[in-house]
């Protein structure tokens, strides 16, 4: 049987309550101000300064309901492009000999942790559509013949898979345990492996740039432990500060991390054995040229035809937006694709009808 690939975009997570990227900042600062306990947090002070200087928004004083925030892509994209061009902004510099330099690097990390906090709060569900999807794939004997590809950082599909007995996730890369020389994760001996490629990184991956090792954080909060438990921020072997592995959805993606490169290589290799590719909650945005390049290589470098299905509707979606997305898919992948009016919930509840 030819394998099926399920491609999970932001709309799949939104169906579980995760905010779209344009709402991440508003949700975070609203929740922060409701707590009214943040005056001593460096992260908050630095983010307040960044939004005030760069976007003329005082996140602690302005009426948040009347503010049009930048998207997460825009806010972090400025920093990534500055790093690529080796340039700075006034009051936000790169590495230098000056005290407290590399403010751009710190702000970028704080933005990632902000996003992690919002996503954890909104996606920490016990039971949801991703679990229903996994259950249906198990019921019909399709799970091990399914490859999951996700552009999402959250852990919805990870948790839906890892909570099943006898199943281990194959992320396509090698992980070390928390202490040095303890071997590799996951320990999949005697377990069924399910492939999950997270091409933009994940909130439960922690990278040591000195040892060039990647750690899976088993704690439910993922990289938020870097805030709640600072001891987790240091590599157990060399004591260097570990960092999240997050590739933001911008035109200027930094794909230099060796682990991310391995994930992309294995994703392309695995997709050659796929007969059916199902896009879920993915609008095929212009900024994702890396994804488009990958899919086009898979579509053209094969002897047989790749079946493509798109599931990207949701309640109240503007029909004009649906038409724009359909045109975007067909313009790039051809008109012979199945563009449905179904939602991610439909797919998870009636999986067999789509397979």
Residue 223 in contact with residue 266, Cβ under 8 Å?
A: no
Residue 271 in contact with residue 277, Cβ under 8 Å?
A: yes
Separation CA 206–CA 235 (nearest Å): 9
C-alpha 189 chain-centroid distance? 28
What is the reported pLDDT for 245?
Answer: 85
pLDDT per residue, tens digit, the chain (355 aa), is: 579 999 999 999 999 988 877 788 998 999 888 887 665 578 888 999 999 999 999 999 999 999 999 988 889 888 988 888 889 998 888 876 566 678 888 898 888 888 888 877 655 555 689 999 999 999 999 999 999 999 998 889 999 998 888 898 999 998 876 444 333 444 556 678 999 999 999 988 888 889 998 888 765 555 666 666 666 678 888 888 788 888 876 666 666 788 999 999 999 999 999 999 999 999 998 878 889 999 999 999 998 999 999 999 999 999 999 999 999 999 999 989 999 999 999 999 999 999 8
Residue 262 in contact with residue 226, Cβ under 8 Å?
A: no
Q: Give the closest residue to 281 by CA, choosing from 106, 177, 154.
A: 154
Separation CA 170–CA 173 (nearest Å): 8
What is the reported pLDDT for 241?
Answer: 78
What is the reported pLDDT for 216?
Answer: 84
- Strand segments, DSSP code E, in the chain are 3-8, 146-150, 167-170, 175-176, 184-185, 192-198, 201-208, 213-216, 243-246, 274-280, 307-311, 338-339
What is the reported pLDDT for 186?
Answer: 47
Collect all residues with Cβ–Cβ distance below 8 Å to 139 and sequence separation of at least 6.
none
What is the reported pLDDT for 181?
Answer: 39
Separation CA 104–CA 92 (nearest Å): 6
Separation CA 268–CA 246 (nearest Å): 20
Q: Which domains, ranges and CATH numbers included, belong to the chain?
A: 1-16+126-205+247-355 (3.40.50.1220), 21-123 (no CATH)
What is the reported pLDDT for 179?
Answer: 42
What is the reported pLDDT for 102?
Answer: 82
Separation CA 284–CA 272 (nearest Å): 20
Whole-model pTM: value is 0.87
Q: Give the closest residue to 276 by CA, choosing from 130, 147, 170, 152.
A: 147
Place of tokens 């309640």: 315
Residue 120's H or E segment, with its range, is helix 103-123
């Amino acid at each position: 049987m030819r394998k099926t690939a399920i491609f999970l975009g932001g709309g799949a997570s939104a169906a579980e309550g995760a905010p779209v990227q344009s709402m991440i900042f508003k949700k975070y600062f609203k929740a922060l101000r409701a707590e009214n306990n943040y005056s001593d947090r460096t992260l908050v002070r630095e983010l307040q300064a960044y939004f005030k200087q760069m976007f003329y928004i005082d996140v602690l004083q302005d009426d948040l309901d009347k503010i049009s925030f930048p998207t997460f892509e825009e806010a972090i994209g400025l920093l990534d492009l500055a790093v690529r061009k080796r340039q700075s902004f006034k009051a936000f510099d790169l590495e230098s000999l000056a005290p407290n330099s590399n403010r751009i690097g710190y702000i970028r990390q704080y933005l990632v942790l902000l996003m992690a906090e919002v996503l954890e709060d909104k996606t920490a569900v016990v039971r949801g559509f991703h679990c229903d999807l996994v259950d249906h794939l198990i019921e019909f004997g399709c799970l091990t013949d399914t490859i999951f590809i996700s552009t999402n950082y959250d852990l919805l599909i990870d948790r839906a898979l890892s909570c099943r007995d006898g199943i281990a996730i194959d992320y396509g890369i090698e992980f070390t345990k928390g202490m040095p020389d303890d071997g590799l994760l996951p320990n999949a001996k005697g377990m069924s492996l399910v492939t999950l490629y997270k091409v933009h990184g994940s909130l439960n991956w922690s990278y040591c740039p000195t040892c060039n090792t990647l750690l899976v954080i088993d704690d439910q909060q993922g990289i938020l432990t870097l805030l709640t438990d600072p001891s987790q921020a240091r590599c157990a072997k060399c004591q260097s500060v570990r960092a999240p592995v997050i590739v933001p959805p911008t035109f200027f993606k930094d794909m230099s991390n060796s682990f991310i490169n391995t994930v992309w290589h294995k994703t392309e290799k695995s997709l050659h054995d796929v007969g059916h590719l199902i896009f879920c909650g993915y609008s095929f945005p212009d900024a994702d040229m890396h994804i488009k390049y990958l899919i086009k290589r898979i579509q053209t470098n094969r002897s047989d035809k790749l079946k493509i299905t798109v599931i990207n509707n949701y309640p109240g979606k503007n029909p004009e937006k649906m038409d724009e997305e359909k045109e975007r898919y067909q313009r790039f992948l051809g008109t012979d694709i199945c563009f449905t009016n179904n939602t991610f919930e439909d797919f998870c509840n009636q999986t067999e009808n789509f397979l």
